[in-house]
Amino acid sequence: MSALRAGLIGAGAMGRNHARVLGQLEDVDFVGISDPALEAGLFGAEVVPDVESLIALGIDYAVVACPTSLHEEVGIALASAGVHALIEKPLASTVDGASALAKAFADAGLVGGVGHIERYNPALQALRTRLEEGELGQIHQVITRRQGPFPHRIADVGVVKDLATHDIDLTAWVTGESYLDISARTVTRSGRPHEDMVAAIGTLSGDIIVNHLVNWLSPMKERCTVITGEKGAYIADTLTADLTLHRNGQFALDWDALSAFRGVAEGDVTRFAIPKREPLLVEHEQFRDAVLGRDADIVTLDQGCRTVQVAQAMIDSADGGGQRVDLA
């Protein structure tokens, strides 16, 4: 079997990480990069001036890591040329753009995927498996916190579509449930036209409450997902890929002041030892396998489109003073 010929569009901070992985991926030849600002190739790949020139190299698939505002235009060009594509998150800057991309690749019978890398984080992979096995029982609540300093490379979208889309996708994927409604508040403190902080609360199917706190205004970096259920709570730290379970207490309380509270008590705490592979490498392996027709677990364009819809609903809610937006 001959190796797949792969290309990359965009060699910024994330694009260079994609280039590194493409350069070492089995069954893949990394043949070209389209980026007008790049002067020399990376990992043996040729630099070309535009997407058309990259397509002309005879690529089988491309990784789209250019600015979000260009995803629709670039993705449609690839679909029209019969090229499969892994498109960085968010799928597009607008709901209409995301829908157009999903339709274009479906109509062409091509594999399209979205780079929601958190799905491949070892902590979240392990968490999803444990939830599917019923270890937490009924899920009551999902809380995510994602904050850190402002990334100067992001200029075309705000924190909702750049960072919060991670949490939207991982929440729906980990729980296996869908968003029914969302309400949000945003602020802009950095002087840019887009929001840089959001607080959102919503409901998932399965009667699950969700809460997302996301910002670009914190000097500390945090990536935390807390899922509380009838048997305890899981905490996934995707910065360190650690997964911890806080179990409900199993013993009766003899302390009157505490036993008067009819909730749960503190129980055992377990931090799981889990295999830790680089999420970006796993993401690329899965997409490669999908293109080759093998069994693979990718984020589909339809799923990416739904994430953009929820993100837009957050923005619409904030623009409307925090009103609830129905997503059912």
Q: DSSP secondary structure string, 233-297?
A: EEEEETTTTEEEEEEEP-S----HHHHTS-S--EEEEEEE------HHHHHHHHHHHHHTTS---
Q: Considering only CA atoms, which of 242, 121, 226 is closest in space to residue 234?
A: 226
Same domain, 157 and 168: yes
> In 10 A of CB 252, how many CB atoms?
7
**Is residue 140, in this structure, part of any structural domain at all?**
yes
What residue type is assigned to position 69 of the chain? S
Whether residues 267 and 286 fall in one domain:
no
Question: Do 123 and 111 have their domain in common?
Answer: no
CA angle, 186 then 321 then 141, to 5°: 65
The per-residue pLDDT for range 250-289, each reduced to its tens digit, is: 665 566 655 555 567 778 999 999 999 999 999 999 999 9
Is pLDDT larger for residue 38 or for residue 206?
Answer: 206
CB 286 within 8 A of CB 298: yes
Q: Are residues 178 and 314 in the same domain?
A: yes
Do 61 and 106 sit in the same domain of this protein?
Answer: yes
The pairing of beta strand 208-215 with beta strand 197-204: antiparallel
pLDDT (average), residues 14-26 = 96
On whether both 198 and 239 belong to a single domain, the answer is yes
Contact 172, 204 (CB under 8 A): yes
Band of the pLDDT at 314, cuts 50, 70, 90?
A: very high
- 174 and 312, same domain (yes or no): yes
pLDDT for residue 240:
96
Mean pLDDT to the nearest integer, 64-68:
95
Kindly tell me if the per-residue pLDDT of 122 is higher than 70: yes
Q: Please write the tens of the pLDDT for every residue from 278-301.
A: 999 999 999 999 999 999 999 999
Q: Which domain, by its residues, includes 80?
A: 4-118+281-298
The mean per-residue pLDDT over the stretch 204-215 comes to 97
Residue 267 lies in a domain: yes
CA-CA distance, 318 to 301, in Å (whole number)?
26
**Could you tell me if residue 67 is inside a domain?**
yes
Report the pLDDT averaged over residues 215-239: 96
Same domain (yes/no): 123, 272: yes
What average pLDDT does this structure show over 186-200? 90
pLDDT of 328 > 90? The answer is no
Answer yes or no: do 106 and 136 share one domain: no
Q: What is the mean pLDDT of residues 202-212?
A: 97
pLDDT of residue 42: 80
Asked if pLDDT for residue 172 goes beyond 90, the answer is yes
CATH at residue 94: 3.40.50.720
Cα-Cα-Cα-Cα dihedral sign, residues 97, 85, 327, 184: negative
Mean pLDDT, residues 89-113 taken together: 97
pLDDT of residue 288: 98
* Measured distance CA(278)–CA(266) in Å, rounded: 33
CA R_g for the chain: 21
Structure token pair of residue 186: 């945003």
pLDDT band at residue 41 under the 50/70/90 scheme: confident
Which pairs with CB-CB distance under 8 Å and at least 24 residues apart come from 193-198?
194/157, 194/158, 194/159, 195/158, 195/159, 195/160, 195/315, 195/318, 196/150, 196/158, 196/159, 197/159, 198/159, 198/160, 198/164, 198/314, 198/318
- Under the banding of pLDDT at 50, 70 and 90, the label for residue 103 is very high
Helix (H) or strand (E) holding 316: helix 301-319
* Averaged confidence pLDDT in the chain: 93
The predicted pLDDT at position 267 comes to: 86
Residue 1: which pLDDT band, with cuts at 50, 70 and 90? low
Whether 59 and 200 share a structural domain: no
- Give me the mean pLDDT over the 134-152 stretch: 92
Assigned token pair, 316:
């619409």
The total number of structural domains in the chain stands at 2
CATH of the domain at 272: 3.30.360.10
Confidence bin at 153 (pLDDT 50/70/90): low
Which of 40-49, 108-117, 240-249 is least confident?
40-49
Is 187 found in the same domain as 133? yes
Nearest alpha carbon to residue 85 among 57, 110, 52: 110
Q: Is 303 within a domain?
A: no
Q: What distance in Å separates the CA atoms of residue 250 and residue 247, rounded to the nearest whole number?
A: 9
> What pLDDT is stored for residue 34 in this prediction?
95
239 and 192 in a common domain: yes
pLDDT class of 150 with cuts at 50, 70, 90: confident
Q: How confident is the model at residue 79 (pLDDT cuts 50, 70, 90)?
A: very high
Question: Is residue 203 over pLDDT 80?
Answer: yes
What is the crossing angle of helices 95-108 and 301-319, to 10°? Answer: 170
Low-confidence winner among 114-128, 147-161, 174-188, 245-259 (lowest mean pLDDT): 245-259
The answer to whether position 163 is within a domain reads: yes
| Beta strands in 58-196, from DSSP E residues, in sequence order | 61-64, 84-88, 112-115, 139-147, 179-187
Residue 207 falls within a domain, yes or no? Answer: yes
Q: What pTM, to 2 d.p., does this model score? A: 0.93
